[in-house]
Amino acid sequence: MSQLIAIASGKGGVGKTLITAALSVLLQRRGHRVLAADADMGLRNLDLLFGLDGSIHYDAAQAARGKCLPGQALLPVEPGLDFLPASQKRTWERIDIPSYQYVLESLSGSYDYTLIDCPPGRDGAYQAATALADEILFVVEPSPSSLRDAAKVMQYAARQKRFHYDVILNNFYADGVITPDAAKARLQTGHVAGLLPHDDG
């Protein structure tokens, strides 16, 4: 049975999609079968990181509408790593959510891990993208706006009784104004899955 992990954030531009791609490749290289699903409807970018721009014929929204079989929307990235693209034309307001979730759930059964690149924020799109997840990873960067928005989304998750979540501190500077300890204190969490330092290279 696949473990579904949603990668989310309070705001865009914090490295969520890059982390989704990197974790997908890391798990695949460790011998796991991985499905990477882009759930940022209308604003997909995960295909670019996998080098699949221009290769998409069907997407998850089309599979949800019955325009193709779920498996026809998959694209191979590497042996053991497949990609399920989001729609570039339809936003979440035009997606039948139960049908999308059926597509994702039916496909994920063939994988050890399913990583879901979620849209930022905590609106209906976030709820739809994270509904099936066993765990949520919130990506946070060292900026006041990222910390504030992440704190709001984490509070929302707690109110929804979604307690299986962790934080990834991304792009933190060694001598930055906002330190990892300060970020953890601001977020009021000890659930830190990883710290990724800033890299000038």
- How many folded domains does the chain comprise? 1
* DSSP structure class, residue 112: S
Closest C-alpha among 134, 94, 118, 117 to residue 1? 134
pLDDT at 163: 60
Structure tokens that stand for 27 in this block: 């798990």
Q: What confidence tens digit (pLDDT) does each residue in 12-68 have?
A: 888 999 999 999 999 999 999 999 999 999 889 999 999 998 899 999 999 999 999
CATH of the domain at 11: 3.40.50.300
185, 179 Cβ separation under 8 angstroms:
no
Q: Can you give the residue range of the structural domain that contains 73?
A: 3-113+122-197
Q: What confidence tens digit (pLDDT) does each residue in 88-129 have?
A: 999 888 989 999 999 999 999 999 999 999 988 777 788 888
**Mean pLDDT for the chain overall:** 90
Predicted TM-score (pTM) of this structure: 0.91
Structure tokens that stand for 175 in this block: 């001598």
Given a cut of 90, whether residue 187 has pLDDT beyond it is no
